[in-house]
Amino acid sequence: MSVSLKAKIAEVFEEPGCDKNVAKSDKERKKGCTKQLNPGAAAGGCAFDGAKIALQPIADVAHLVHGPIACEGNSWDNRHSASSHSQIYRTGFTTDINELDVIYGGEKRLFKSIREILEKYDPPAVFVYQTCVTALVGDDIEAVCQRASEKFGKPIIPVNAPGFAGPKNLGNKLGAEALLDYVIGTMEPEFTTPYDINIIGEYNLVGELWQVKPLLDALGIRILSCISGDGRYEEVASAHRAKVNMMVCSKSMINIATKMEQRWGIPYFEGSFYGISDMSETLRMIAKLLVQTGAPADLLDRTERLIEVEEARAWKRIAEYKQKLAGKRVLLITGGVKSWSVVAALQEGGMEIVGTSVKKSTKEDKEKLKDILGDGADAHMIDDMTPREMYAMLRDARADIMLSGGRSQFVALKARMPWLDINQERHHAYAGYVGMVDLVREISRAIFNPVWQQVRIPAPWGEA
């Protein structure tokens, strides 16, 4: 591991914006946040995967993976992050190194690949990702990127997060560090307004950003840069001129928010786009901070008026489902922040939460969840649930539907119970007021799908 990578990781482990991190002793902090894995348990994505997930939604740049082809294959666009402009981000570029590169080093091949991309596609920038093998053979991607930038006159950004550096979450942060070191603050926007904000940690999965953008447009609030969903290089490079930063309910790239506050004095807050009241609260926070940083005070009134209209419209549309769904019991198996933001949304739809996983949630996430669930919250918060326990819960009909990621879908299907995908691989967008209506509609469609009646009929050979 190069010294600079070691130093970078140590830097990322010092995070003033994370309460959990601040509460640790110096010794504990140095160890990072990685938990010892259980032998045999799936480890989740590597650091490279995390960096790629965080940055690939910047849609107009070429993302070049320096390493064996499988690294790119593993991480390629598995999240349906949508773009309204360029599609180059979805092209899988890799140096696909071979045995000779391992012996002699792959720097030349990397340099040639950058040149080929620039000649054929002419993107505004190329992001170069380090992987395990090329890091181990000692390829210096920073030096190659610097040389290529000088030679071709285009930003070539090294993303030094080889897989062995740690887990996916660390990779998110190392990806964010690459933006802080080489991108943010390197360009100036054509113009600025008192209504400019950045949205950080929003990946525009299935186009969720577009469910929120019309609300901001209606208030005259401009997304100067979204990091990184539907992103443009130029916008990210000029993000330092925003008045306010919003962290989208996730600590994955909190280092961007804290460092932008230190460097450019941009205040930030953590908000959520999931659920009606959370969406309204987020709009209020944005308006409040913009007014504090110099926007005209009438923004506050305009925001309240918009919230009133939008909430009324959403409630009206939810009402028809609310009757059908009232009292339906939901088992929610997801991670981190979604444990509270989605719980609030489901309660608004009249449903009862029989259990929600808090395995990946932070202390603050758990506190928020306790507030939302009220009395007896602890009984519904599940630290770790085995597939067997999930299956038993569904089979005994203690839950009417399970909302989870794709990996646990087969548990629900085996129990012949409805299931809805709410993790990053989902195919429906659930953000903002519109997204909440869509979520309730999809739950209703899943629960009342006639297929469940049919699959529960015993098979003729079973009866015999």
Question: Given the complex with ligand SF4, which of 48 and 430 has the nearer CB atom?
Answer: 48
In the three-class reduction of DSSP (H, G, I as helix; E, B as strand; rest coil), residue 62 is classed as: strand
Residue 74 beta carbon to ligand SF4: minimum distance, rounded to whole angstroms = 5
Question: In this structure, are residues 401 and 331 in contact, taking their beta carbons and an 8 Å threshold?
Answer: yes
Question: Given the complex with ligand SF4, which of 46 and 372 has the nearer CB atom?
Answer: 46
> What are φ and ψ of residue 52, in 5° steps?
-65, -45
Vertex 296 angle, CA 291 and 298, to 5°: 95
Residue 256 beta carbon to ligand SF4: minimum distance, rounded to whole angstroms = 22
Residue 48 beta carbon to ligand SF4: minimum distance, rounded to whole angstroms = 4
- Cα gap 49→168, rounded to integer Å: 6
Residue 169 beta carbon to ligand SF4: minimum distance, rounded to whole angstroms = 14
Residue 134 beta carbon to ligand SF4: minimum distance, rounded to whole angstroms = 9
- Cα gap 452→246, rounded to integer Å: 41
Residue 132 beta carbon to ligand SF4: minimum distance, rounded to whole angstroms = 3
- C-alpha distance from residue 101 to each of 98, 110, 349, 384, 413 (Å): 5, 10, 56, 43, 46
- Cα gap 26→343, rounded to integer Å: 35
| Residue partners of 103: CB distance under 8 A and separation at least 6 | none
Residue 6 beta carbon to ligand SF4: minimum distance, rounded to whole angstroms = 17
What's the Rg (C-alpha) of the chain? Answer: 23
Q: Write out the two tokens for 218.
A: 């209606």
Q: Which residues pair with 159 in a beta bridge?
A: 129
Question: Given the complex with ligand SF4, which of 161 and 239 has the nearer CB atom?
Answer: 161
Question: Given the complex with ligand SF4, which of 70 and 326 has the nearer CB atom?
Answer: 70
Question: Given the complex with ligand SF4, which of 74 and 146 has the nearer CB atom?
Answer: 74
Question: Given the complex with ligand SF4, which of 12 and 209 has the nearer CB atom?
Answer: 12
- Residue 288 Ramachandran class (φ > 0 left, ψ -120 to 50 alpha, else beta): alpha
Closest by alpha carbon to 259, among 185, 161, 171, 365? 185
Q: Which residues pair with 420 in a beta bridge?
A: 403
Question: Given the complex with ligand SF4, which of 162 and 207 has the nearer CB atom?
Answer: 162
Residue 179 beta carbon to ligand SF4: minimum distance, rounded to whole angstroms = 19
Question: Given the complex with ligand SF4, which of 49 and 442 has the nearer CB atom?
Answer: 49
Location of structure tokens 């941009």: 266
Question: In this structure, are residues 464 and 373 in contact, taking their beta carbons and an 8 Å threshold?
Answer: no
Point out which residues bind ligand SF4 (CB under 6 A): 46, 48-49, 67, 71, 74, 131-132, 162-163
Residue 1 beta carbon to ligand SF4: minimum distance, rounded to whole angstroms = 13
Question: Given the complex with ligand SF4, which of 48 and 233 has the nearer CB atom?
Answer: 48
- C-alpha distance from residue 245 to each of 56, 228, 240, 261, 358 (Å): 20, 13, 10, 9, 27
